[in-house]
Amino acid sequence: MDAIIQELENCKAHANNAGTLSQESSERYLDLLITSLFSQDAVERDDKLLLIGLGHLSDMASVETWKQRLSPDLINKIYDLIISQQSDDLATTQASTSILTKLSQICLSNSPEVEALLEHLCISLQTNNNILTLLHFLLQKYNKNMMICFKIVNYLSLHIECLVKWCSRGEKTAIQIATATNIALKDIGILDEIDVILKSQKRESSIINAVDAFIKSFKRLKTCLVELDPLEYEIETVQQVKALIHQLFDVYDVTKERFSKSNKECENLAGLTIIEILNLRFALIQNDLTFKKQFTEQLMFQENPLPLLKSISGISDIIWKYLDMSNDQIETKPYKKHFILHFKEIIISLLNMLAKMWEISKSGTLGDLESLLGLVRILILKVDKICQTEEDSFLELFSEICETSSYEDLRQLQVAQWRTKQYQDWADDISSFDEILRNQVQEFVRYQRLLLMQKGTWVYSENPIEAKDKLPKVSFIALSDNQMNFLIREFKHKVETSPSVNDNEIECIDRSALLNNKTLVIPLKNIANIQSRQIELDRKIPEGARLINILQTTIYTEVTIFERNGKILSVFYLESAKSFYTWLDGLQLLSQNKNAKLSSETVEQIDILIELRRNIQLAALNDKFKDEQSVESFSEEEDDELYYNQDTLKLLTENLYYE
């Protein structure tokens, strides 16, 4: 045995670890090792050397050489040999992974003689989980050894492909084994270890490629089960889930009755797929008691508790579609790879959140559940957006977002998403409508300012800061009755009763305030430019030992009105924010200046009004003009003409404000 191993190692080293033996040597050595493996005298046999020798031949002998000698008994013997050695050093670990890889490669070859071997290989591995347990141990032990991790992950991918190949025949046993393997990969911890490798070795392209291949195979395995009825295929997990439900929720008569009532659509787990049953099982066996406690309290104290089975079904479907599990292409977004490996943890996080929202929203029907599942979709989109800016800890981030996102927050996001979608749906037809909307809103704001300007405002005729100790001169400004002229008249002082406008004249009842002057009339059409600047007056209370020094600042706005040739038509000073927005923006809106700049506050007001009107009108547009039953009876051309033309959009703007 020692001589055989030495010769194999020399041959392998000579060929730079990629050598192959001659056909004759391969057959001779493999026959010797297989004979030794079946030998009854195991006491004198060196199993470690035997395993290493078979490992070398797995790398160096052809698939055909192995295929001719492979049998169910040989597979069993090899499994027993690998388990007995426990791969306690690097040499036996490499040998074990090489042998397992070779067996899977043979079963994946398109040869009729390996069909029976394929079934035996899959059944043997699943019947004896010691191999998977050993691989989990090795992934933990050698998580820094890139070559070992690569070989183990690569083998796991091939083994899953063997399962997928077998499942494609639709045989009941294949589906049962695939289901059990799906459970074992998670329960034993292999998926968790692969996730650790994905994080720690993310810059090593070879291991990342191996993990990508594993995830691709894992998605295909789940796809084999996604639409299958667990009752039809006699999946054992169904009985386990029923026992868990009985143990957890049939404690009291009231909880048993309410659970049955809220899940009557899925009585005896009917209607659930294998994947949904697996997700339900994980939710019921997981160590986090948050959901179990919350759901049990609902069963005890609420007449209409959360429909658990429908919830699992809905969440499973949402996550399945989000992760695009039916597409076996390798996922390009790194965080989605982690989510696929932690599919079940994501399910339980969303189930926790759904139970909380069910209680907060006082839901009670399946219609309410559908509404809440819509919020789950919103949450997924929120997670997806945030994860695109992160580099690590995706699962922790997912859990944190679930815990911190309130029901109200998600409803607001839902409304925002709906608005965006509505606008996108109508984007091709609404560009001209947006222009109409902006003009109408601007006209509405202009009309508001116009009403305020007709009431008039007291202003200063001279700079109040330069007036020093004397009172600054005051004037009253207003619009003429016909709204075509800007009027300004100076007074001795302000009066309690505001002056009035009669045609183009500012009049005052209190004659004592009048000066011997007339109202200055400036046609709005002559106003070509309006400029403003802020001036400040600091008033500091005298310092004193027992006083708190306070700096008071009064802000005025100087407004200068120009005609086309640059001549100044009028200068006045405003002292309040209200008068500033009324007159400066009002005159800008009324002037003929096409480049007039409005204040940021007025621009914001216009934008808010446009957004408000657009949202209201798009909602009406959807309800009134895009009813699916009505649209079905029209051709595409007729539909566009009737429902998407500009006249239809204009119609929605009538009688909305003030017209």
Same domain? For 627 and 545 the reply is no
CATH of the domain at 21: 1.25.10
Check residue 127 and give its pLDDT.
Answer: 77
Cα gap 532→588, rounded to integer Å: 11
Domain boundary among 594, 619, 634: 594
Q: Which of 194, 225, 256 is the endpoint of a domain?
A: 225
| Res 407: pLDDT | 95
Tell me, yes or no, whether 542 and 589 share the same domain: yes
Asked whether residue 626 falls in the same domain as residue 580, the answer is no
Q: What is the pLDDT of residue 258?
A: 94
The verdict on residue 451 lying in a domain is: no
Q: How far apart are CA 436 and CA 657, in angstroms?
A: 14
Residue 371, domain extent: 237-422
- Asked whether residue 432 is assigned to any structural domain, the reply reads no
429 is a domain residue:
no
State whether 304 and 407 are in the same domain.
yes
Tell me: do 185 and 68 sit in the same domain. Answer: yes
**Does 612 lie in the same domain as 541?**
no
Cβ-based neighbour number of residue 36 at 10 Å = 20
Position 275 in a domain? yes
Joined together, the tokens standing for residue 35 give 């004979």
Residue 573 sits in a domain of what CATH number?
2.30.29.30
Domain boundary among 225, 248, 275: 225
Does any domain span residue 643? yes
Instruction: Looking at the structure, tell me whether residues 214 and 74 fall in a common domain.
Output: yes
Helical segments of 544-599, H only: 577-579, 585-590
pLDDT of residue 129: 76
Give yes or no for a contact between 125 and 79, defined as CB atoms under 8 angstroms apart: yes
Q: Which helix (H) or strand (E) holds 207?
A: helix 205-225
Same domain, 268 and 371: yes
Considering the domain architecture, whether residues 565 and 611 belong to the same structural domain is answered as no
The total domain count for the chain is: 4
Residues 157 and 187 in one domain: yes
**Amino acid in position 551:** L
**312 and 283 in contact (C-beta within 8 Å)?**
yes
Residues linked to residue 571 through DSSP beta bridges, in sequence order: 560
Q: What is the pLDDT of residue 418?
A: 83
DSSP, collapsed to helix, strand or coil, labels residue 650 as helix
Residues 92, 167 within the same domain: yes
Segments in the chain below pLDDT 70: 1-2, 7, 9-10, 12-21, 41-44, 87, 331, 429, 468-469, 537-553, 592-596, 620-659
Structural domain contains residue 442: no
At 274 the pLDDT is 96
Residues 274 and 415 in one domain: yes
Domain assignment present for residue 545? The answer is: yes
Q: Which residue has the tokens 């800890």?
A: 393
For residue 538, the model assigns a pLDDT of: 59
Contact status, residue 299 vs residue 258, Cβ threshold 8 Å: yes
Model pTM score = 0.72
Predicted local distance difference test score (pLDDT) of residue 653: 52
Q: Does 283 reside within a domain?
A: yes
pLDDT at res. 643: 45
